[in-house]
Amino acid sequence: MNTNTTRVVLAVAVGGLFAGCTLDDFGTGFKGADQIRTETFTQQEPSTADVLWVVDTSCSMADEQEALAENFPAFLTLFLERSLAFNMAVTSTNIWEDESEGLDGQMNGDPYVMTQDDADIEALFVERALMGIDEGHGAEKGLTAAHQALEVLGDSVNQGFLRDDAHLAIIVVSDEPDYSAQANDSALVDWEEFAEWLNAFKGPTGQRMADLSVIVGIGEDGFEDPRGCNQPENGDGAGGGSGPGGQGEGARRGDGYLEAALATGGLIGSICEPDWGDLLGRVGLRATGLLDAFELTEVPALDTVTVRVNGRFITEWDYFEVDNSVRFTTVDAVPQPGEVIEIRYEVPSE
């Protein structure tokens, strides 16, 4: 079903029968006021941000690391345009493995914190994000790595990264699921524990001072698709090489990452997306606290949904059933600070 449908109502006045009626009156008269909903939202102002990247360093991620580095300028766009202060750091998904030596939650580089004052910020990020492959690394635990970096090492090894008044954005890039929940180790955190921790990390739940965004495997059928992207029908293929210039092997569904991102209000992007420029642009907007998704209070009849931003009809959006939200699909479509989003729809009749 195509959810990006703009409904056009043509009203013809016959013999003055409908004289004096507005378009809203006309629709309400036939559908009933109790079936029509109009919800409005205002895009919030961007804020300073602490951004932690968690990058997969397994053997299938060389192309995706390169795509991340090449398209990083798109992520920075809003920060630079608005002169927003940021702290930025990178760690890896490799944590506590017997067969491989990883960062174990420590932030990469010297200095490990990058800021808006660094004239060579792009070069510094590339140096830290292009970590290459960790020989023997095969059990990616990005959620535990982020938790270790901020909760356990935040006041010691990684001291100086977090600021009390900044939005915290954690961004995971991986072509595999999170394996934190599959090991019998109480020091590891599954997605539910991670979401509970992150939602309370920067203040009361609901304040949304922190979120997790993920660039992982997402199937053609969306969040519920178990196959990931570019996967065979049985979904058993190994991840890797799916980004620009990749080998086409695809990525497994980002189990754990997807659920945690949904639970913390972060952005969900496909690692198989061909345009990483637009993808990282959207991730950059989200990292500043701007919203690309707006949750509805009731479940709509999908073919009745229309979206306006400051009065303009917008078609670059999808309906996300899993959390009953309308999500803008391109960086250009995401509403700018102060813009008013109006979502009109009908609820199905009994």
21-44 pLDDT, tens digit each: 333 433 444 456 688 999 999 999
- Residues 228-278 pLDDT 10s: 998 766 544 444 433 333 334 689 999 999 999 999 999 999 999 999 999
Q: State how far the Cα of 101 lies from the Cα of 134, in Å rounded to an integer.
A: 7
Mean pLDDT confidence for 337-341: 96
Give the C-alpha separation, 253 to 222, whole Å: 10
Give me the domains of the chain, ranges plus CATH numbers: 23-40+293-346 (no CATH), 49-287 (3.40.50.410)
State how far the Cα of 315 lies from the Cα of 317, in Å rounded to an integer: 6
Q: Average pLDDT, stretch 52-81?
A: 96
Q: Are strands 293-295 and 306-309 parallel, antiparallel or unpaired?
A: unpaired
Residue that is written with structure tokens 């690692």 in the block: 271
Query: Over the stretch 169-211, which tens digit does the pLDDT of each residue have?
Result: 999 999 999 998 776 677 799 999 999 999 999 866 546 689 9
Q: Which residue has the higher pLDDT, 88 or 12?
A: 88
Q: What is the mean pLDDT of residues 337-347?
A: 97
pLDDT at 77 over 60: yes
Asked if the model's pLDDT at residue 4 lies above 60, the reply is no
For the segment 213-241, what is each residue's pLDDT rounded down to a tens digit? 999 999 988 888 998 998 766 544 444 43
* Inter-residue contact 226 to 232 (CB < 8 Å): no
Report pLDDT for 204.
63
Phi and psi dihedrals of 63, rounded to 5? -65, -40
Say if residues 256 and 264 touch (Cβ distance below 8 Å).
Answer: no
Between 166 and 15, name the one with better pLDDT.
166
pLDDT at residue 5 above 50?
no
Using the 8-state DSSP alphabet, how is residue 222 labeled? B
- In the prediction, which pLDDT does 32 show? 61
In 16-63, beta strands by DSSP E: 36-42, 49-55
pLDDT for the residue numbered 187 = 78
Kindly tell me if the per-residue pLDDT of 57 is higher than 90: yes
Instruction: Give the angle subtended at the CA of 317 by the CAs of 222 and 322, to the nearest 5°.
Output: 40
| Each residue's pLDDT tens digit, 96-152 | 998 899 999 999 999 999 999 999 999 999 999 999 999 999 899 999 999 999 999
- Predicted TM-score (pTM) of this structure: 0.84
* Residue 314 vs residue 184, higher pLDDT: 314
In this prediction, what percent of the chain has a pLDDT beyond 90? 73
Q: Are 256 and 181 in contact (CB under 8 A)?
A: yes
pLDDT given at position 183:
65
User: Do the strands 210-216 and 167-173 form a parallel or antiparallel pair, or are they unpaired?
Assistant: parallel
Cα–Cα distance for residue pair 325/34, rounded to 1 Å? 21
| Mean pLDDT score of the chain | 86
Mean pLDDT of the region 304-319: 96
What kind and span of H or E run contains 13? none
Q: What is the per-residue pLDDT for 26?
A: 36
Which one has a higher pLDDT value, 124 or 18? 124
> What are the structure tokens assigned to 331, written together?
């960086």
